[in-house]
Amino acid sequence: MEYPNLVYSQMGPQLSNNIMIQNAMIRGYDGNGLFEQCLHLFDEMPHRGLKPHNFTYPYVLNSCSKLGWFRKGKQVHCRIVKGGFESHPSDCRIMEPHDFALCDIQSARKLFDVMPERDIVSWNSMITGYAEVRDVGNARDLFERMGEKDVVSWTVMIRVYADAGDLVTARKIFETMPCKNVVSWNSMISCYTQHGQHKEALNLFVHMQSRSEVPDNYTFGSVLSACLQLGALEFGKWIHYLIEDWSQFGAILGTALVDISVAINGRTEDAVKIYSLMQKKGLRPNDFTFTAALFACSHGGLLKEGERIFYSMEKEFGVEPKLEHYGCIIDLLSRNGQLEEAVRLVREMPYKPDIAIWGALLGGCRERSHLKLAEEVIEKATELEANESGVYVLLSNMHASVGQWPEAQSAREKMEEKKIWKNTGHSNVFAS
């Protein structure tokens, strides 16, 4: 907007006070995220002798919504109604989901009800509003009253029922749809994954493939997530092979691929290669990407790569490491003989260590037979009052390994005193 601003500032009153120019600037400000400037120019219009109309209001309301200026948004809605613009389709279509945050659903319904003509966009927007507030009854009522329904109408209703926990009805609506697109398939698949029905998500993806529907990044992301939850690694391999050029699908899918590479026979080097390729393709990693990449480095013993990734987070990408990122790098350092560096990070990090971090340090102590530090770690870990048997078992085994049997027994007795018991391990098997 620098050049348009410059041109606008050079205009005299005769030109700058033209309604078309004002609307063009308002639209430009809104479209470029300059929401306050958009509203400031809108507020100046009466002083310039200009009246806003149906080509002004949509961008003004969007700016109100983006800024969270709810009262301002309601004032603008009132001006629309008083000015008679509620009957104009372009103004009524502004009732997108985000507008219901600034205009309560009752006010939106009143505006909807007074419209002399309602097109399919208006009906879909109103149903979406009810979906946002999880009002299944009103959403269903409007859906059934609609004369014409499009793929958006059906897909919104899938989400309405899924959000209410009724996946059976959501699936019935999905199967009843006369025409489906990739968004419809994604909606139903993600409904299953979000409600923990991962096997159903994978089965639906197989059905999608049999219908020759082309998946996108959201499809693959949901399906790979389901694979990881189920431990369905062979299925995950198949998904991996289906993606001819994964770089086009963005950071979300890239993160999922990093995860699945680690899960498939511990292919940690492949995971790090994918992480590096993401950057070469111009994809910015997010919190989850860093967690997945650091986890891969930790379990693959890739010390230099792990350190490079960790220290690049804030320096190169402006992402502040969270506790889970510190946990991964501390585990990596502890596993690879860098116990002093791991201890330094624990002392300097801006978070209180959790049981996973103390456990990682304790594992490093075992590798170095550092009993004194191990006992300090145990003391810190017990302050968390976490019922974790692993730290006591590990300390006991460390003492036993060097013949310190009384100390080993003492560690076991402390675990029993705190009524902490070692659970029997178990695993899940996915059968396709």
> What pLDDT score does 92 carry?
45
DSSP, collapsed to helix, strand or coil, labels residue 310 as helix
Question: What average pLDDT score do residues 288-293 get?
Answer: 84
Both structure tokens of 174: 């999905």
Quick one: which of 67, 71, 82 has its CA closest to 33? 67
Most confident of 55-64, 75-84, 168-177: 168-177
* Residue 377 predicted with pLDDT over 80: no
* Residue 431 predicted with pLDDT over 50: no
Question: What average pLDDT score do residues 244-255 get?
Answer: 60
> What pLDDT score does 13 carry?
64
Instruction: Judge whether 154 and 177 are in contact, CB under 8 Å.
Output: yes
At position 242, the amino acid (one-letter code) is L
**C-alpha to C-alpha distances, 164 to 135, 186, 202, nearest whole angstrom:** 9, 18, 22
Lowest mean pLDDT among 13-22, 97-106, 204-213, 377-386: 97-106
Lowest mean pLDDT among 200-209, 213-222, 364-373: 364-373
Q: How far apart are CA 133 and CA 106, in angstroms?
A: 11
10, burial (CB in 10 Å: exposed 0-12, middle 13-18, buried 19+) = exposed
DSSP, collapsed to helix, strand or coil, labels residue 226 as helix
Query: What is the band of 408 on the pLDDT scale with cuts at 50, 70, 90?
Result: low
At position 172, the amino acid (one-letter code) is K
> What pLDDT score does 421 carry?
47
* Residue 198 predicted with pLDDT over 80: yes
Query: What is the band of 136 on the pLDDT scale with cuts at 50, 70, 90?
Result: very high
Both structure tokens of 54: 């149906």
H helices of 83-216, in order, are 89-92, 99-102, 105-113, 120-132, 136-145, 151-163, 167-176, 182-194, 198-210
> What pLDDT score does 272 carry?
80
Tell me the average pLDDT of the chain: 77
> What pLDDT score does 255 carry?
66
Instruction: Judge whether 226 and 200 are in contact, CB under 8 Å.
Output: no
Lowest mean pLDDT among 34-43, 192-201, 242-251: 242-251
Quick one: which of 365, 307, 313 has its CA closest to 340? 365
pLDDT per residue over 73-99, tens digit each? 777 877 776 666 554 544 444 444 444
* Residue 160 predicted with pLDDT over 70: yes
Most confident of 125-139, 186-200, 286-300, 350-364: 186-200
Lowest mean pLDDT among 27-31, 360-364, 382-386, 424-428: 424-428
Q: How far apart are CA 37 and CA 63, in angstroms?
A: 9
Print burial letters for 263-294: b (CB count within 10 Å at least 16), e (below 16).
bbeebbebbbebbeebeeeebebeebbbbbbb
> What pLDDT score does 225 carry?
79
> What pLDDT score does 308 carry?
94
Quick one: which of 85, 105, 82, 81 has its CA closest to 95? 105
Lowest mean pLDDT among 57-66, 222-231, 311-320, 389-398: 389-398
Most confident of 168-177, 365-374, 408-417: 168-177
* Residue 206 predicted with pLDDT over 70: yes
Lowest mean pLDDT among 104-113, 114-123, 379-388: 379-388
> What pLDDT score does 402 carry?
52
Q: How far apart are CA 353 and CA 31, in angstroms?
A: 44
Pairwise pLDDT comparison (432 vs 111), residue with the higher score: 111
Query: Treating both helix axes as pointing N-terminal to C-terminal, what angle do 287-300 and 268-280 enclose, rounded to 10 degrees?
Result: 140
Instruction: Judge whether 293 and 309 are in contact, CB under 8 Å.
Output: yes
**C-alpha to C-alpha distances, 417 to 148, 298, 374, 411, 423, nearest whole angstrom:** 69, 34, 20, 10, 16
At position 72, the amino acid (one-letter code) is K
In the chain, % helix, strand, coil (3-state, to 5) comes to 70, 0, 30
Q: How far apart are CA 253 and CA 307, in angstroms?
A: 23
Question: What average pLDDT score do residues 310-318 get?
Answer: 92
> What pLDDT score does 258 carry?
66
Lowest mean pLDDT among 57-61, 100-104, 321-325, 421-425: 421-425
Q: How far apart are CA 397 and CA 367, in angstroms?
A: 12
